[in-house]
C-alpha cells in the first residue's frame, strides 16, 4: 500500500449492482486487502449494493460512505456526478435514481434499434439478460457482441458501434445539471463532478461546466480518478482552488483489468494544496 495516507481512501468504485466485476461484498473485502480504510460504493444510478456492502464493511472495519454515480448532462453533453454521504432513504435521491433507471431501459431499447439499423440483430433482450440485476448500460451490449462473435473485444465494440460519437443523439436523455443539482443540494450530501478530464470538451467548456456546477449546488470535483495523467491532476487541483471546490479522489474501480486498476489506486495528489472532501467523514 502507498505510504500516502490519503490512498487509504477510495471514493469512487463500482460493483455488480451496476457495471462492476465484483459483488459489493467482494469489493469491500478487496478494499480491506488493499489497505483502504474509507470506501464509497458509487454504482451507476442505483443504491442497490449499499446494504450488502455495509454489512461486510462493518464486520471488516472499513468505513463505508454512501455513494452513487448519477448520469447527468450539461447543454446536452453527458457527464457523471458522484453523490456522497447522503441518507440512503433521501426522497430526492431515490426519485432521481429511479428516473435514471427508467431512462436506462428506454436508452437501451434505442441503442438496440440503432444497432439493428447498422446491420446487427436485435440485442436488447440479450443485453438485459447480460445485465441481470445490474443497471443496463453500453458495456452489457458490448459483452453480448463479444460473446456472439460480432466483434473481437470490448474495445472494438465501442470503437465500431457504442462510442458517444456512434450513438449520437441517444446521449441526450439525462437530467440537466440545473434540474437535478438544486434538489440534491437540499439533502446536504456532497455533489462531485466525476473525472472532469475525461470529457471530450475544451478547457473553456470545462470551466463553463464547473461554473454552472458550482452555481447550481455542486460542492466538489474529482482531482484524481484512476490512472490519471499527473499533469491533469495538477490542473484539476488548480481548478478546485479557482472554483473553491472541495476535492475528491477515487479509483473508479470496475475490475482488476491490469496493475493500473485496483481499489485505492489512483495518481498521486498534493493533499496540502486542496480541500479534501473526505475530511468531513474521517473518524
Distance, in Å, from the CA atom of 114 to the CA atom of 93, rounded to the nearest integer, reads 31
pLDDT at 246 over 50: yes
pLDDT at 68 over 70: yes
The structural domains of the chain, ordered by start, are 5-90+190-280 (3.20.20.140), 98-171 (1.10.150.650)
Within 10 angstroms of residue 248's Cβ, the number of other Cβ atoms is 27
- pLDDT score of 5: 61
pLDDT in tens, 121-130: 999 999 999 9
Give me the mean pLDDT over the 247-269 stretch.
89
pTM for the predicted model, two decimal places: 0.87
Residue that has been written with the C-alpha cell 462531485 in this structure: 192
Within 10 angstroms of residue 172's Cβ, the number of other Cβ atoms is 11
Q: Determine whether 78 is exposed, middle or buried from the number of CB atoms within 10 Å of its CB (0-12, 13-18, 19+).
A: middle
pLDDT in tens, 4-53: 667 799 999 999 998 898 999 999 999 999 999 999 999 999 999 999 99
Q: What number of CA atoms fall less than 13 Å from residue 33's CA on the CB side?
A: 8
pLDDT in tens, 209-233: 999 999 999 999 999 999 999 999 9
From residue 20, give the alpha-carbon distance in Å to each of 15, 57, 229.
4, 18, 23
Distance, in Å, from the CA atom of 1 to the CA atom of 8, rounded to the nearest integer, reads 8
Residue 191 DSSP class: E
Ordered DSSP codes for 198-260: GSS--HHHHHHHHHHHHHTT--EEEEEESS--HHHHHHHHHHHHHTT-EEEEE--BS---BTT
Confidence of residue 3 (pLDDT cuts 50, 70, 90): very low
Confidence of residue 2 (pLDDT cuts 50, 70, 90): very low
Stretch (H or E) spanning 3: none
Amino acid at each position: 500500500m502507498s505510504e500516502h495516507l490519503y490512498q487509504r481512501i477510495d471514493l469512487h468504485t463500482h460493483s455488480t449492482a451496476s457495471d462492476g466485476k465484483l459483488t459489493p461484498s467482494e469489493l469491500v473485502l478487496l478494499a480491506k486487502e488493499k489497505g483502504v480504510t474509507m470506501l464509497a460504493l458509487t454504482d451507476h444510478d442505483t443504491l442497490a449494493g449499499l446494504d450488502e456492502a455495509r454489512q461486510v464493511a462493518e464486520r471488516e472495519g472499513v468505513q463505508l460512505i454512501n455513494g452513487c454515480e448519477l448520469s447527468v448532462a450539461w447543454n446536452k453533453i453527458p457527464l457523471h456526478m458522484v453523490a456522497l454521504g447522503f441518507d440512503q432513504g433521501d426522497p430526492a435521491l431515490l426519485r432521481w435514481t429511479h428516473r435514471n433507471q427508467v431512462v436506462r431501459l428506454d436508452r437501451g431499447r434505442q441503442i438496440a434499434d440503432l444497432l439493428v439499423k447498422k446491420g446487427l440483430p436485435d440485442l436488447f433482450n440479450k443485453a438485459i439478460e447480460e445485465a441481470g440485476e445490474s443497471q443496463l448500460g453500453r458495456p452489457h451490449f458490448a459483452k453480448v457482441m463479444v460473446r456472439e462473435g460480432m466483434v473481437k473485444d470490448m474495445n472494438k465494440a465501442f470503437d465500431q458501434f457504442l462510442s458517444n460519437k456512434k450513438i449520437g443523439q441517444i446521449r441526450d436523455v439525462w437530467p440537466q445539471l440545473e434540474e437535478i443539482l438544486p434538489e440534491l443540494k437540499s439533502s446536504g450530501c456532497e455533489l462531485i463532478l466525476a473525472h472532469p478530464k475525461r470529457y471530450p470538451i475544451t478547457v473553456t467548456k470545462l470551466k463553463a461546466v464547473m461554473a454552472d456546477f458550482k452555481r447550481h449546488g455542486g460542492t466538489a470535483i474529482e482531482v484524481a480518478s484512476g490512472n490519471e495523467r499527473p499533469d491533469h491532476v495538477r490542473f484539476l487541483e488548480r481548478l478546485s482552488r479557482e472554483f473553491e471546490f472541495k476535492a475528491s479522489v477515487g479509483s473508479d474501480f470496475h475490475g482488476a483489468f491490469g496493475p493500473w486498476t485496483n481499489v485505492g489506486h489512483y495518481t498521486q495528489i498534493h493533499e496540502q494544496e486542496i480541500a479534501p472532501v473526505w475530511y468531513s467523514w474521517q473518524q
